[in-house]
Amino acid sequence: MPVMQYREALNQAMREEMQRDERVFLLGEEVGAYNGAYKVSRGLLAEFGPQRVLDTPIAELGFTGLAVGAAMAGLRPIVEVMTFNFSILALDQVVNGAAKMLYMSGGQFGVPMVLRGPGGSAHQLAAQHSQSLEAWYCHVPGLKVVMPSTPADAKGLLKSAIRDDNPVVFIESEVLYGMKGEVPEGEYTIPLGVAEIKRPGKDVTVIAHSKMLHVALQAANELEAEGVDAEVIDPRTLRPLDTETLLQSVKKTNRAVIVEEGWSFCGVGAQIVDILQQQAFDYLDAPILRVTGADVPTPYNKTLEHMAFPDAQRVKQAVLRVLYKA
């Protein structure tokens, strides 16, 4: 299979879907002439023209509302926000418009749109540009929430998101855009709501999404040298969540650690803990532990920023705690 960057896999997914379906179009800040703030939309304006690749003003509420209306009218918009921190400005259209329209119209109007862009922290972007907001969107009925962690997943999941008849919040990772990996050519989709076991194991289940998956895998590889065989699972889609894969793993390993970059209070991991406690309690041999971002605004200082987010060492410590080995 060809090897490409995460950003190139996203670009390929959009290009293929725009070629396949003329209803698909892209809009957002700098997606056209500048080829995207992170070059995810490189070359799309030249191929599809300004009617299908639209540079917008810096007005997230406005152009997201335009996309909701276009989707209701039968088109399939892809909205790029330069960072998901800016999606806060469009929350009314996403939460009160896109998510509720099918229900409030009695099934008359669907909103098949994708809201995509980078989320989470990068490097020294400070408190207002380093937030993990996936838990906000997971809280809203009517939205699907997807967070790919590899180039192959980025392509397969984005193609499925574009084809989905529901509004999909598709959160990428800025620090993964340059990551390389094998990506299948041609028609390649991954169903939404299906997790993947990225590393099989028998001693403990480690659940992590987006770039935290790679932190979890690093920890698992280091733990192997200490005789610990960790199974690492990437949910890939946070809503709907593939609870069956998570439950089967925990029933096998009898222990779980959940890793996420976001804040602990009301985080995605808290929901997963609730599911595991309710449906796999009798299989658990230790309390479920969570490794999360610090409950503070993200510091700008490089050293403090590093301390604010999970790393392999913290994940290893959590795993050893549930194994009663530390």
> Over the stretch 213-271, which tens digit does the pLDDT of each residue have?
999 999 999 999 999 999 999 999 999 999 999 999 999 999 999 999 999 999 999 99
Q: Counting Cβ atoms within 10 Å, is residue 217 exposed (0-12), middle (13-18) or buried (19+)?
A: buried
Check whether residue 159 and residue 19 sit in a common domain.
yes
Q: How many of the other CB atoms lie within 10 Å of CB of 301?
A: 11
Check whether residue 112 and residue 170 sit in a common domain.
yes
Q: Token digits for 322?
A: 């549930």
What angle, rounded to 10 degrees, do the helices at 268-280 and 243-253 form?
60
Q: Residue 91's pLDDT band (boundaries 50, 70, 90)?
A: very high
Average pLDDT over residues 99-112: 97
CA-to-CA dists, residue 140 to 97, 100, 135, 195, 303, angstroms = 12, 9, 9, 20, 35
Average pLDDT over residues 63-73: 98
Which residue in the list 60, 172, 174, 231 is annotated as catalytic? 60
Mean pLDDT, all residues of the chain:
97
In one-letter notation, the amino acid at residue 199 is R
Check whether residue 163 and residue 49 sit in a common domain.
yes
Backbone phi, psi, residue 167, to 5°: -70, 130
Residues found in the chain: 326
Say if 190 falls within a structural domain.
Answer: no
Using the 3D structure, point to which of 157, 182, 207 is the last residue of a domain. 182
Is 60 catalytic? The answer is: yes
> Per 3-state DSSP, what percentage of the chain is helix, strand, and coil (rounded to 5)?
40, 20, 40
**Angle, alpha carbons 17-21-24 (nearest 5°):** 75
Q: State the sign of the Cα–Cα–Cα–Cα dihedral 48, 74, 236, 194.
A: negative
pLDDT in tens, 4-25: 999 999 999 999 999 999 999 9
Do residues 67 and 27 make contact, with C-beta atoms less than 8 angstroms apart? yes
Say if 187 falls within a structural domain.
Answer: no
Average pLDDT over residues 125-152: 97
Half-sphere exposure (Cβ direction) of 312: Cα atoms closer than 13 Å:
11
- From 128, 172, 127, select the one nearest 305 (Cα to Cα): 127
Q: Token digits for 87?
A: 């999606």
Check whether residue 172 and residue 225 sit in a common domain.
no
Q: What DSSP assignment string belongs to 63-85?
A: HHHHHHHHHHTT-EEEEEPSSTT
Check whether residue 98 and residue 164 sit in a common domain.
yes
Give the pLDDT score at 325.
65
Q: Give how many domains the chain has, as a whole number.
A: 2
Check whether residue 31 and residue 163 sit in a common domain.
yes
Q: Residue 186's pLDDT band (boundaries 50, 70, 90)?
A: confident
**Alpha helices of 88-203 — where are they, by DSSP H?**
91, 101-104, 134-138, 151-163
Give the pLDDT score at 324.
85
Give the pLDDT score at 143.
98
Do residues 147 and 207 make contact, with C-beta atoms less than 8 angstroms apart? no
Do residues 40 and 80 make contact, with C-beta atoms less than 8 angstroms apart? yes
Check whether residue 107 and residue 13 sit in a common domain.
yes
Check whether residue 178 and residue 200 sit in a common domain.
no
Check whether residue 256 and residue 138 sit in a common domain.
no
223 vs 326: which has the higher pLDDT: 223
Say if 94 falls within a structural domain.
Answer: yes
* Percent of residues, the chain, with pLDDT higher than 90: 98
Check whether residue 60 and residue 88 sit in a common domain.
yes
Which residue range forms the structural domain that includes residue 229? 196-322
Using the 3D structure, point to which of 182, 206, 227 is the last residue of a domain. 182
Check whether residue 24 and residue 165 sit in a common domain.
yes
Do residues 289 and 260 make contact, with C-beta atoms less than 8 angstroms apart? no
Using the 3D structure, point to which of 155, 182, 209 is the last residue of a domain. 182
Is 209 catalytic? The answer is: no
Give the pLDDT score at 326.
47
pLDDT in tens, 259-316: 999 999 999 999 999 999 999 999 999 999 999 999 999 999 999 999 999 999 999 9
Which residue in the list 8, 80, 129, 261 is annotated as catalytic? 129
Please give the Cα distance from 112 to 116 (Å, whole number): 13
Evaluate if residue 175 carries a pLDDT over 80.
yes
